[in-house]
Amino acid sequence: MSKKVLLIHTGGTIGMARDDDSGILRTDKLYESLTSFIPELSEIADIDIEIPYIIDSSELTTGHLRKIIRIIKKNVDKYSGFVISHGTDTLAYTASALSYMLMNPTFPVILTGAQKPLSEIRSDARSNLINAIELSTMNIKEVAILFDDKLMRGNRTIKSHINHFDAFSSPNYPLLAKTGIDIEVYRKNILRHDGLFHIFDEFDNSVAVMKIFPGFSHSCFEPGENIRAVIIIGYGAGTIPIDNSGIPEKIEKWISEGKLVVLMSETKAGKLDPGIYESGKKLLDLGAVHSGDMTFEAAITKVMFLLGQYKNISIIKKNFRKSLAGEITVN
């Protein structure tokens, strides 16, 4: 008996069709007749389709994430796996968020998209969908992204190219699987859960992001009183200017107000260790926390997730330092 998979279509290039008059790509409910485009999918799994919304992925909000979670929640006992087709621009944000919302999943959730629509010649949508659906029938119990023959942990993945089919990468964590003539699953890289499955759907997006650049003026950045967390993106290992910049004083003020302050690096690969330089150590001594080797997508969705679960800043800081879903390498 073939396994049952639920395909959740949310929009994006993968399901678009080109308007004959304008040449513009427009959303289209292409998946209502999916088997006519890829008839061999029926040989892999018994597929049902649900379309909670169709949006340009740049319009993504936490409300859209809740809709996806509610669909999964009501269907956990009906399907062996879930595939989410999604626009590529915010695909890594959704994958990261879902990895926290679905704590200790007992099934695979595979997100995918495409650089060219399924309806066009030389589209990557066909292979991405086939591979995502086949991987969703396997014993891979985590939220992952399948793109261009690579299966990557969702909260370790970034969009790294606009035009290439190889559009996503996992800079700080190895692949979960590789598809080719055969599918190679790298079991040692897959999460091993040690807790009960639970679904969360609360988020708090009271977060501000400050990116440092040469000549940055701290007077241009003043998060409102309703902001509960500030993410600072510095250079290299997490360095920021401290001589006459006013930034350490700002951070001290925010921390005294009960805000979470997170220090990140603009560098994509490697582990952030701000303590090796004076500026970073000073911020840590003030009470800031660093993001380790988390991607920006994983870090900001993690902050919003934790703010949604807790009011106590000490608990939030403690959990931010933990690996909740394999998003950070903890020594």
Q: Could you give the residue numbers annotated as active site?
A: 13
CB 111 within 8 A of CB 133: no
Q: Which residues of 133-169 are buried (b: 16+ CB within 10 A; e: fewer)?
A: bbbbbbebbbbbbbbbbbbbbbbbbbbeeeeebebbb
Report the distance separating Cα 178 and Cα 79, nearest Å. 23
Side-chain-side CA neighbours of residue 287 (13 Å):
19
CB 153 within 8 A of CB 295: no
Q: How far is CA 12 from CA 61, 90, 172, 204, in A?
A: 15, 10, 26, 25
Q: How far is CA 125 from CA 52, 77, 115, 133, in A?
A: 20, 28, 7, 12
Instruction: Determine which helix (DSSP H) or strand (DSSP E) holds 74, and give its type and residue range.
Output: helix 62-75
Q: Comparing C-alpha atoms, which of 100, 57, 36, 104 is closest to residue 76?
A: 104
Report the distance separating Cα 204 and Cα 259, nearest Å. 13
Side-chain-side CA neighbours of residue 122 (13 Å):
2
Report the distance separating Cα 328 and Cα 310, nearest Å. 20
List, in sequence order, the alpha helices (H) in 245-312. 247-256, 278-286, 296-309
